[in-house]
Amino acid sequence: MKLSLLRQLSSNLKKVTCLTLLISTTLGFSQSIPLGYPGLDDYLRRSQLLGKVDSSLSFMVRPLQSNLLRSTLKDSLENYLYKQIGTGSKVRKLSLLPLQVRTEFNSHYPYGWNNGSMLRSRGVQTLLSGGLHYKIGLLSVQLKPEFVFVQNQDFDGFPDSHSNFVWRTRYNRTWNRIDLPEKFGQSPLWRVLPGQSSIRVNHGAFSLGISTENIWWGPGRNHSLIMTNNAAGFTHLTLNTKKPARTSIGSFEGQFIVARLENSGIDPPIPQREITNSWLIPKHDEWRYLNGITITYQPRWVPGLFLGTSRVFQDYNDSTRIKKNYLPVFSNLWRVNDPNTSTDGSLDQLWSVFARWVLVEAQAEFYFEVGRADATWNFRDLLLSPDHSAGYIFGFSKLINLSNQNQHLEISMETIHLELAKTGTLRLEPTWYQNGRNRHGYTHRGEVLGSGIGPGSNSQFLSVSWIKDFRKVGFLAERLINDNDFYYHTFGLEEPMRNWVNLSLGVFGSWNTRRLLIEGKLQLVTSRNYQWELTENRTNFYSQINVLYHFK
C-alpha cells in the first residue's frame, strides 16, 4: 500500500514538473524596462514608426517588457538589460541587471521633471541603481533599489516682498490644497528607496503582483495627465498586460492598480515678517489609498490607431475604510447617478481619454490626451461645458529620411495645457492635481504623479534631431508658464504682464558603446517675472547625464 502511494505521488510530481516546464518555456525570460533608462523607450518608439516594432504595441502603458526587444534592437542592445548568471535552466534563471548612474545639476533654482526618485532641487543630485532578476516557473522577482543623493542647496523661493494678500492667496489657492514643498528641508539628503522592484506571477499576456516601479499611462512623450515617472515609484498591487492581448476584434493593453501614496511631511514656507502662520491649514496625517485603471484598444480594422482611457481615485486610508469603497474606478461615470453625491464628492478623481495614430508609411505619429480634474454631473454637462476643469496634451513626431538610409531627421512637438477654463467663474473648478478636502493633492512624497510642470501650468516643446539607429543628437526649445491659475486669481486683473514664464534652449543626445548607453541634456533656462515678481528675471543652467553600464 505504501509503495503504491509513493509511486502515485511520484507520478503526480512528474506531471506537475512537466506542466510547469511547459508553461515556463512559453513565457520566455523577461523583465520590465524601467522608465528612465537612457534612450531605450524613445528608440523603441521611433523604431515602430520605421515598421520594426510590433504594430499592435501602443506605448501607452509602460514600463515595457524586455522580451519585446529581441527582434528589434540591433548591435546586441538587449544585452544592456540583463546578464544571466550561471547556466540557469528553462524553469529557473538568475540575471544581473545593469548599473545605472544619473546625475542632474541646477545652477540657481529647481528645474526639470520625469526623474523618478530625484527631487526638485538646486545643486547636484545623483541616482545610483542596480540589482537582480530571478525567475522560477511562473514567478519572477526583480530587486532594483535606488540610492539618491541630493545636495539640496538654498535658492530664492516665494519672495517675502509679496504682500500679505498674495501670501494668503498662495496658501488658500495652492499650499493648503497640495503637498508640494518648495524645498525638501535645509540639509543635503540621502534616500534609499525600493526603486524599480517587483514580485510577479506571469502567464501569457498577463502579470499579477506587487511593485514599486514607476508607471506611465497615456501617449505623451514628455508629459501625461494621469501617470508619469515625475515622482518616486509608489507601492502598488497590479494586474497588467505584459504584451498586447490579441482578440478577434483587435488588441488590448491595460493596468489595474491599488496603491499606497505617502506624504512629504514638510510644511509650506512662512514669510519672515509673520511670527505665527495662521494661514496654514494642517494636512491630515494619514497615507492615501489610490485606485486606478487604464485600458487601450487597437482595432484590427485600423492598423496603427490606438484608443484608450484612464481613471484614478484617491482618498485617505481611514476614510476609505469607513466608506468601504475600495474599487471606486468601477463606480458611476456621471455624478448625478451617485447615491450620495456629497460622499462621492469627497473623493479626488481624475479621468482622461487619449489616442495615438502611427502612420508607418509616413514615418510619423500623432497623439492627444484630454482629461478632467472634476467629475462630470451628467452627459448634458459634458456637452455644454466640455472645457470645465479640462486639460489636454497634443503632440506629433515625424522622421525624414536622409541620404544615408540608416540616418533620419526627427521633428517632434508637444504641448500641454493645465490652465483652468472660464467655467471656474460660475462654479467650483479644482486646479489640476489639487483638492480642497484631500489636501495632499495628487502627489507622492511631495511630487506630482501626473505632469511634472505642476498645477495650472502650460508648456510647449519643440525638438529637431539627427538619428542613426540608437544614436541621436539634437536641439530643443521649450516654453513653460508656471501656475497661471494662481496668477490670474491673484494678479491677473490689475497686473496683466506678471506671468511667470520660463524660456529654454538646449541640446541633447544619446549614444551607445560596447558596454554603455549614454543620454545627456544641457539647457539654458531664463525665467521672466520669477516667482511672479514683476521684471524679476533669473537665469538657470540645467544639465543631466544618464549612463547605463551592462556587465558583459
- Which tens digits make up the pLDDT trace of 108-136? 999 999 999 999 999 999 999 999 999 99
Please tell me the distance from the alpha carbon of residue 214 to that of residue 223, in angstroms, as a whole number: 14
- Three-state helix/strand/coil letters over 226-294: CECCCCCCCEEEEEEECCCEEECCEEEEEEEEEEEECCCCCCCCCCCCCCCCCCCCCCCCCCEEEEEEE
Residue 93: domain span? 21-549
**Three cell numbers written together for 391:** 486639460
Q: Is 34 within the bounds of a domain?
A: yes
Give the max Cα distance, the chain: 95
Backbone angles phi, psi at 49, to 5 degrees: -65, -25
How high is the pLDDT of residue 15? 39
pTM for the full predicted model: 0.90
Does residue 86 have a pLDDT over 70? no
Mean pLDDT of 383-392: 79
pLDDT for 12 equals 44
d(CA 78, CA 68): 10
As a whole number, mean pLDDT of residues 315-323 equals 91
State how far the Cα of 131 lies from the Cα of 513, in Å rounded to an integer: 21
Q: What is the pLDDT of residue 53?
A: 85
Residue 288 in contact with residue 260, Cβ under 8 Å? yes
* Per-residue model confidence (pLDDT) at position 90: 63
- pLDDT exceeds 80 at position 138: yes
Cell of 475: 536641439
Instruction: Give how far the C-alpha of residue 88 lies from the chain's centroid of Cα atoms, to the nearest Å.
Output: 34
In a domain? residue 334? yes
Say whether pLDDT at 346 is over 90. no
Q: Which three cell numbers stand for residue 226?
A: 494621469
Domain presence at residue 7: no
Mean pLDDT of the chain: 87
* More confident call, 70 vs 410: 410
Number of domains in the chain: 1
Residue 329 lies in a domain: yes
14 is a domain residue:
no
377-393 average pLDDT score: 77
| Residue 497 neighbours by CB under 8 Å, 6+ apart | 529, 534
Q: Is residue 421 part of a domain?
A: yes
- pLDDT bin (cut points 50, 70, 90) of residue 85 is confident
Q: Is 1 inside any structural domain?
A: no
Q: What pLDDT is recorded for position 23?
A: 34
Q: What is the pLDDT of residue 79?
A: 65
Does residue 188 form part of some domain? yes
Answer yes or no: is pLDDT of 25 > 90. Answer: no
C-alpha cell read off for 99: 548599473
**Strand partners of residue 501:** 481, 528
Report the alpha-carbon distance of residue 454 to residue 262 in Å, rounded: 18
Looking at residue 369, which CATH number applies to its domain? 2.40.160.130
What is the spatial distance between Cα 203 and Cα 213, in angstroms, rounded to a whole number? 19
CB 33 within 8 A of CB 65: yes
Backbone angles phi, psi at 8, to 5 degrees: -65, -45
Q: Quick one: pLDDT band at residue 389, thresholds 50, 70, 90?
A: confident
The two beta strands, 443-444 and 216-217, are unpaired
3-state secondary structure of 43: helix
| pLDDT score recorded for residue 13 | 36
What would the mean pLDDT of 199-214 be, rounded to a whole number? 94
**Closest alpha carbon to 349 in 393, 388, 311:** 311
Phi, psi of 431, rounded to the nearest 5 degrees: -65, 145
Residue 442 near residue 435 (C-beta atoms within 8 A): yes
Cell of 21: 516546464
